[in-house]
A and B are shown apart, each in its own frame.
Chain A
Amino acid sequence: MLVLGLETSCDDTAAAVLQDGKKLLSNIINDQTRVHSRFGGIVPELAGRSHVDQVQKVIRQSLESAQVELSQIDLIAVTVGPGLIGSLLVGVNAAKGISYGLGIPLVGVNHLEGHLLAIFLQNQIEFPFISLVVSGGHTDLYRVDNFGQYKNLGRTRDDAAGESFDKVAKMLGQKYPGGPIIEKLAKDGDPGSHQFPRAYLEKGSLDFSFSGLKTSVKTYINKKQNENGGNSTINDIAAGFQEAVVEVLSKKIITACVKEGLNRVVVTGGVAANGALRKAVASECEKAGFKSWFPDPVFCTDNAAMIACAGYHKFKSSPESEADLLDLDATASLYLD
């Protein structure tokens, strides 16, 4: 079965062709950040209009690179939310057009479900498992019992983890996106040079909060500038901040496993590309006797392969999930459970 996946929920326009749920034939991501940085690092073009410019090109590229014709596609899977409504609508309507024109069935996919199932592009792991979706817009812990069966166990009450990486990078005078920059700076820093706060919230809570940490880094940088004091370098601050985020994320994963009585862990989403987080989670899990998996970085950041994968499993496990072409619509705030 050939699935065409389409994803336009945020900055990137992406299309992918996936065979039988795991054989990836193409995975095209029009990453505006990268395109623009070639011309001197302009901020990404953000909303619907750029998707309109890109969507046809990206779909064509994904078919060409997979060496398949549009008419051979058996199923179209498209992100219907959550995301920016103007951006989502571009993908949804492109998908509806193809579906209607060629009579190909269509399924709507929740962007978060795409992240939760991205690991199945690489490993056919067993259910149930704990999954942390951690990115610029999300920090969510889920219990995943089967395809389509997800239970939210905790989420951020303010900033997402990825957002705090970007904002701290900016405070340190660095560019966007901040995640890879902080990770690089932290490699040459001493995380113990200044102890930043860890927000564990109420005992046993699986929610997150990163706003206080952000403010604390800001206050520390200001203090350093005003008093000319403190021996911490930019690298030390990056290292101390990263350690605070990574520690909370990895500890809460373990708490979630213990609470739910599970021993399999998947970490996914853009921040899951961070090496320090992968290392910390892998080591905490090993200590506890749990197994952990991480999608390759290219499947961690927003991509259409994961949408195709989620759409494939959704359609296969319940063919009635095929969308009614007139009813399918994009929804800016969409929850999984």
Chain B
Amino acid sequence: MIQITTRSADETLELGEKIGARLIAGDLILLFGDLGAGKTCLTQGICQGVGLEKEAYIRSPTFTLINEYHAKIPIFHVDLYRLEEEAEIINLGLEEIIYSPAVTIIEWSEKLKSEKNSNEFKYGIQDRLEIHISSKNETLREFTLLPVNLSPREPSLFPLL
């Protein structure tokens, strides 16, 4: 587990880029954090790090639920904010996406927990990178990165230089 603090949206983007550059096909990123924490902003950085061109519009999928981007590895950007019932999440076809050879980034992953304070997730989710974001004030953000069973890669995820 590692903790990183950013002081602006630009620093959050930079952090995302560093993470994105180390991702490989099949990776699942679970994002946790309140409204305005910077989940979409971090995702924009991650997508650029994966190789999506800077001009691509990476927008909040709150309404569209799933945005798909075409970088050298396909990226699924999912947002569970509007979904309340398990049936809705299943209908979304989430399992298909999670187990596809793409990078999948899920905002509001709180909704995937099998129970509220549990560390277990639904849909057989095991291998993942959890990123918990907390807002300290209007611009200060603390990121806690927790990789669980991530497949080995070169360069490795940490240290994030």
Measured CB to CB, the residues of A under 8 A from B are 10, 42-43, 45-50, 82-86, 135-137, 155-160, 162-163, 166-167, 170-171, 176, 211-212, 214-219, 332-333
Nearest chain A residue, comparing its CB with the CB of B69: A333
Residues of A within 8 A of B59 (CB): 155-160
Q: B6: CB under 8 A from chain A?
A: no
Q: B154: CB under 8 A from chain A?
A: no
The answer on a CB contact under 8 Å between A158 and B62 is: no
Known A82-B64, A155-B59, A216-B138; 17 more pairs at CB < 8 Å: A46-B65, A83-B64, A84-B65, A84-B66, A84-B92, A85-B66, A86-B91, A136-B63, A137-B64, A158-B60, A160-B62, A176-B82, A211-B36, A215-B36, A219-B137, A332-B68, A333-B67
Q: B4: CB under 8 A from chain A?
A: no
Given A218-B35, A219-B36, A43:B84 Cβ within 8 A: yes
Q: Pick the 7 closest A-B CB pairs, nearest first.
A: A47-B91, A215-B36, A137-B63, A136-B63, A218-B36, A43-B84, A159-B60
Given A158-B41, A214-B35, A10:B68 Cβ within 8 A: no
Measured CB to CB, the residues of B under 8 A from A are 9, 34-36, 38, 40-41, 44, 57, 59-60, 62-69, 82-85, 87-88, 91-93, 135, 137-138
CA distance A186 to B44 in the complex (A): 32
> Taking the nearest CB of chain A, how far is it from the CB of B110, in angstroms?
14
The answer on a CB contact under 8 Å between A157 and B35 is: no
CA distance A158 to B36 in the complex (A): 11
Residues of B within 8 A of A86 (CB): 91-93
Residue in B34, B40, B57, B68 whose beta carbon sits within 8 Å of that of A159 in the complex: B40
Given A43-B84, A157-B59, A216-B138, A48:B91 Cβ within 8 A: yes
CA distance A136 to B62 in the complex (A): 8
> Taking the nearest CB of chain B, how far is it from the CB of A49, in angstroms?
5
Interface of B is mostly: loop
CA distance A238 to B41 in the complex (A): 24
> Taking the nearest CB of chain B, how far is it from the CB of A107, in angstroms?
23
CA distance A137 to B9 in the complex (A): 22
CA distance A85 to B78 in the complex (A): 13
The answer on a CB contact under 8 Å between B63 and A46 is: no
Residues of A within 8 A of B36 (CB): 211, 214-215, 217-219
Residues of A within 8 A of B34 (CB): 218
The answer on a CB contact under 8 Å between A84 and B64 is: yes
CA distance A85 to B135 in the complex (A): 34
Nearest chain A residue, comparing its CB with the CB of B81: A167
Q: Which residue of A46, A83, A216 has the most chain B CB atoms within 10 A of its CB atom?
A: A46
The answer on a CB contact under 8 Å between A163 and B138 is: no
CA distance A219 to B36 in the complex (A): 9
> Taking the nearest CB of chain A, how far is it from the CB of B106, in angstroms?
15
CA distance A215 to B82 in the complex (A): 18
CA distance A214 to B57 in the complex (A): 19
The answer on a CB contact under 8 Å between A162 and B83 is: no
Nearest chain B residue, comparing its CB with the CB of A170: B35
The answer on a CB contact under 8 Å between A160 and B60 is: yes
CA distance A42 to B87 in the complex (A): 13
The answer on a CB contact under 8 Å between B88 and A163 is: no
The answer on a CB contact under 8 Å between B91 and A46 is: yes
Given A86-B92, A332-B68, A215:B60 Cβ within 8 A: no
Given A214-B36, A215-B36, A160:B63 Cβ within 8 A: yes
> Taking the nearest CB of chain B, how far is it from the CB of A125, in angstroms?
28
The answer on a CB contact under 8 Å between B92 and A47 is: yes
